Amino acid sequence: MVWLDVLIPDLTDRFSTENSIIAGGIHLIPQLFVEHFNSTTRSGASQPADVVSNCIDTVVNAAKHFNQFNVDSDDSIKISKLAVQLRQWFSYWQGVEHHNQDRGYGKLARDIFVPDSLQSVLLCREIVLDLETYSEIRKLAHLLAVLPLTTCTCERCISMLRRVKTYLRSTMEKERLNDLCIIHASGEAAYEIPIGEIIDEFAARAGTQRRMILTFPSSS
């Protein structure tokens, strides 16, 4: 009985209305849209125009949810502009799908890659080379890409905070604490930081107010 008392609230939080709205944003991924469009239209469940409209509404609702937490109006997603871009976006990838299907009849030389993840959406040629045409789609894809799927990321940061903010570092400012946490979380990427350049910049900023005497072990 105790186990059910824990399980039910967890399932309610995981499959809440808020999470469902956010998850609807992944319909902007072309591969998912094309598969959903083909399966729905072939089964006769909906008309092609209705499928596209439903996908646009689903993605727009996710964007509206993100805008509720964005206090900067310049960085917020323009909903009306997003709807126009999504219609053009889906139409383009429908054409690409027909392009790839016609390849078997000898009309085309090769397939065109259809992005199947948020990362591939942000790196695809249509987004990288034409930032203005799909500007709002790019904003939404960035937000969805950095959204943690579970609470593990947050819990990991709390555990990391105890290792970074020790008793000897209890008086550090917020900016330095954030920077140290980012370096700690970066893992192996932190070893690529140019330590020599950082020391030179630190010494230049300090000026004559402090003397830096650094002793490095001999290489011999």
- The 8-class DSSP code of residue 111 comes to P
Q: What angle do CA 152, 153, 159 make, to 5 degrees?
A: 85
Question: Is there a contact between 181 and 187 (Cβ–Cβ < 8 Å)?
Answer: no
Domain range summary for the chain, segments of one domain joined by +: 2-145, 152-206
The one-digit pLDDT tens for each residue of the chain (220 residues) are 556 666 677 767 666 677 778 888 888 888 888 888 888 888 877 788 888 898 889 999 888 888 887 766 667 888 888 999 998 888 888 887 776 665 554 444 456 678 888 888 888 877 766 777 888 888 888 888 887 766 666 677 777 777 888 887 778 888 888 888 888 877 777 778 788 888 777 777 766 555 655 555 555 5
